[in-house]
Homo-oligomer: A and B are copies of this chain.
């Protein structure tokens, strides 16, 4: 994978140009390389060997505490020591001021070696990053800084048992915490009560403290919660209370572990149900404090203005979603590598010659069979394509923050429209890659003696969390391609067309450029046709088919652009010819076997097909 990473980073995304920018001026291709080296090594040593262990030894509760296997504790420590939690942060926050592109590339090693071990760090970093942007200086100094240092860890508490995709229905309440609640140096102080579901890393003993970021509603003057998302605010709810010097006060907050979810995969990270403020751990009960006068209610400090909780949360959502996509691509990559290794070792069957098979000849390695090559090529196209898209998006994040004004604005626009694809496409297709990795192994792949069945289970989560597949599709067709008069789609189309022009200069790429041009046009036409009636229902009933087609078009574009770089290098005699031909062949595979699906998917979109929306419950 390292060779592919270097190819993407240096020859496609040109990260060598970044150290010329003031923010990255301490860096060079060499320092970027050392970060990758270090992360690859730690992932190989502290993560990969224990990936199966965290699957088998699932988190469990003992004496009210979440117990993880020792290797998980060690991996978490190694991750903190790597400095990756704050890799992209300012020096003064304890960070390395790495570009997001390099940070994500480094993160890829951890995700590939053990998603269940590597995922928790990203949560903490995301939490701290949100506070860095939306918190007060004190909140940053107390909470974000400890998180970036790995002393405390972080969670995101959005969903509730009755409110998953529909956050407008959350019922966790936050009420001002008595007198002086407005004057707390840590932020306006509230008491929270409610249940939060699906909280990854919601309880554990890995760090001294846990910083929960919790969405809750502040009741109106009539004591009722405001319907819809507008009533949602954001709160810092530490598991253990702290002072302004980031010292534990010795008070346990009223946050209780209510249960662990037993998952199909992704088991390295405990997934919890948390009760906030149910009175199990009364806190500051003196003088009639708390919701019941006896200390019940989890103490939380508001972040940002009341009612702006979702806005703050969504500010960080793009990067979180790109990271999910990257993780999905990396689980896919792990399966690809495992099945390639197996296919190179396993002998079985013989090629069909003109006279049939010659059974007196020794069997060949299965990597020589056309259908096995198909399964490996498909995996390669999916996982390298997904990785490339994630890094492309990360590069846009760098552009957003450090590019020239025009470039930065364009990066924001492109990120809006690409994020649903960066999240959804690898979640779906790198899961398919994992299924192919099982298939390459035959019966062996169905056993726990090989790692591929676990990858497949682990990856199944990614179409569900951080916005389900269906939510991504609605986001894409319902919002991203129509906002600002369709500016995002227009700009992306422009970028794709300039890639086409570059590719068309090479005769062997011309037919591929033409096929892609047709797909791009079809997506544009379908977008207009979908919205032609102006009825959201007409368009959005087929949002999923639209997202399929859009995603495959984007990846076909990414592959064509990678192939163009490969051809350029081949012609100029740079690089390893075998490696570059592999990139070309993966593009050919994707264009021949996958790109034609785009037109097939778009039919129902363009026709605003009513089959799904007209279906009735009683007909099932």
Q: Which residues of A contact B (CB under 8 A)?
A: 159, 162-166, 168-169, 197-198, 227-229, 261-265, 340, 344, 347-352, 354, 357, 359-360, 363, 365, 367-374, 376-377, 380, 435, 438-439, 442-443, 445-449, 453, 456-457, 460-461, 463-465, 468-470, 473-474, 478, 535-537, 540-541, 543-545, 578-579, 581-582, 585, 588-589, 592-593, 596-597, 599-601, 603-604, 607, 609, 611-620
Chain B residues with Cβ below 8 Å from A620 are 340, 367, 376, 380, 582
Per DSSP, chain A at the interface is helix
Contact of A617 among B344, B351, B593 (CB under 8 A): B344
Contact of A370 among B351, B438, B585, B613 (CB under 8 A): B613
A612 engages B377 (CB within 8 Å): yes
Taken together as a complex, chains A and B put the C-alpha atoms of A360 and B264 apart, in Å, by 35
Contact of A465 among B359, B443, B474 (CB under 8 A): B443
A448 engages B600 (CB within 8 Å): no
Given contacts A373-B613, A599-B600, 16 further A-B contacts (CB under 8 A): A165-B349, A227-B359, A261-B449, A264-B456, A264-B457, A352-B540, A374-B544, A374-B612, A377-B615, A442-B464, A445-B464, A446-B461, A456-B460, A579-B619, A589-B615, A596-B603
A371 engages B544 (CB within 8 Å): yes
A446 engages B473 (CB within 8 Å): no
Taken together as a complex, chains A and B put the C-alpha atoms of A374 and B443 apart, in Å, by 33
With A377-B612, A541-B370: A619-B264 Cβ-Cβ less than 8 Å:
no
With A169-B363, A377-B615, A615-B373: A443-B464 Cβ-Cβ less than 8 Å:
yes
With A453-B264, A597-B600: A368-B619 Cβ-Cβ less than 8 Å:
no
Taken together as a complex, chains A and B put the C-alpha atoms of A474 and B356 apart, in Å, by 13
- Nearest CB of chain B from residue A477's CB, rounded to whole Å: 11
Taken together as a complex, chains A and B put the C-alpha atoms of A572 and B439 apart, in Å, by 48
Contact of A473 among B166, B371, B478 (CB under 8 A): B371
A198 engages B443 (CB within 8 Å): yes
A-B interface, 7 closest residue pairs, ranked by CB to CB distance from nearest: A228-B359, A582-B619, A370-B541, A596-B600, A227-B359, A374-B612, A264-B453
Taken together as a complex, chains A and B put the C-alpha atoms of A599 and B470 apart, in Å, by 26
Copies of this polypeptide in the complex: 2
- Nearest CB of chain B from residue A166's CB, rounded to whole Å: 4
From A344, which residue of chain B is reached at the shortest CB distance?
B617
From A163, which residue of chain B is reached at the shortest CB distance?
B348
Contact of A609 among B371, B592, B615 (CB under 8 A): B592
B612 engages A359 (CB within 8 Å): no
Taken together as a complex, chains A and B put the C-alpha atoms of A162 and B550 apart, in Å, by 43
B164 engages A442 (CB within 8 Å): yes
Contact of A447 among B261, B344, B579 (CB under 8 A): B261
- Max chain B Cβ within 10 angstroms of own Cβ: one of A168, A464, A470: A470
B592 engages A165 (CB within 8 Å): no
Chain B residues with Cβ below 8 Å from A348 are 162-166, 169
A589 engages B617 (CB within 8 Å): no
Contact of A264 among B370, B446, B474, B588 (CB under 8 A): B446
- Max chain B Cβ within 10 angstroms of own Cβ: one of A169, A372, A443, A545: A443
A578 engages B619 (CB within 8 Å): yes
A612 engages B589 (CB within 8 Å): yes
Chain B residues with Cβ below 8 Å from A344 are 617
B582 engages A611 (CB within 8 Å): no
A468 engages B439 (CB within 8 Å): yes
Chain B residues with Cβ below 8 Å from A368 are 617
A442 engages B165 (CB within 8 Å): yes
Taken together as a complex, chains A and B put the C-alpha atoms of A166 and B442 apart, in Å, by 12
What are some 14 contacts across the A-B interface (CB < 8 A)? A165-B348, A166-B349, A168-B357, A263-B447, A264-B457, A352-B540, A365-B617, A380-B620, A439-B463, A453-B460, A589-B615, A592-B607, A593-B609, A593-B611
With A371-B473, A611-B588: A447-B599 Cβ-Cβ less than 8 Å:
no
Chain B residues with Cβ below 8 Å from A464 are 438-439, 442-443, 445-446
